[in-house]
Amino acid sequence: MADRDEGAKRTLIFVYGTLKRGFPNHYLIQDQLTSNDAVYLGSYITVHQFPLVCGPYGIPFLLNLPQSDCHHRVHGELYAVSSLGLEVLDEFEGTSLGHYERLPIQVCGGSGSDGGGEVVDAEAYYGHRCFAEGMWEKNGRVGFDVYTEDMARKYVKREDRPKGRSFLEAIRSFFFLSSGRSLRSEKTLMLPYDLKQLRLHAS
């Protein structure tokens, strides 16, 4: 059967967290591989250094803060994704809700730990700019170069998370509650980002 997306331009997507092979949300990619809406291109590493951290529920975030200290070239996987597959990933990553934003990134392949192959222009899902700096600060400005299986064991799937709390509310609590503040006091404090601004960015 002919490729239904034959001749159509595909988007190169670099994944670094739970969408990788063997990780909790890879089923989304696997479904696209099965339907020919994605093609696996191999293991890649970012050309530039970025912070990679974990937030609430053990969710990994690549942060678009390339000038920050204590950052690394980040390891992940590269896929060529159809327009239909991209819609699925955008919805999953909450790009219209201010959760993540899909932005350009340069990566390179190769068998070595530092790549060394041809530089490729791709896109990746970064933690939204409106909470990126706060997330970096909350992690003590310390990141890592690869999201590991040990880290994934702390990941809480969506169906297992508390009901009635949004993604952004979970981030809000992550910023304040782990600092010893109560939920009541948290509601009276200023966030590192403005929720109204987030909605404007997401619209």
Length of the chain: 203
Measured between alpha carbons, how far is 201 from 198 in angstroms, rounded to an integer? 5
CB atoms within 10 A of CB 179: 9
Question: Which residue shows structure tokens 């988007």?
Answer: 11
Largest CA distance in the chain: 60
Annotated catalytic residue: which of 77, 93, 101, 123? 93
Kind of pairing between the strands at 11-15 and 119-127 = parallel
Give the CA distances from residue 107 to residues 63, 114, 123, 175, in Å, rounded to whole numbers and listed in that order.
15, 11, 9, 31
Instruction: Please indicate whether residue 93 is annotated as part of the active site.
Output: yes
Looking at 19-89, which runs of residues are DSSP E strands? 38-50, 52-54, 60-62, 72-81
State the catalytic residues. Answer: 93
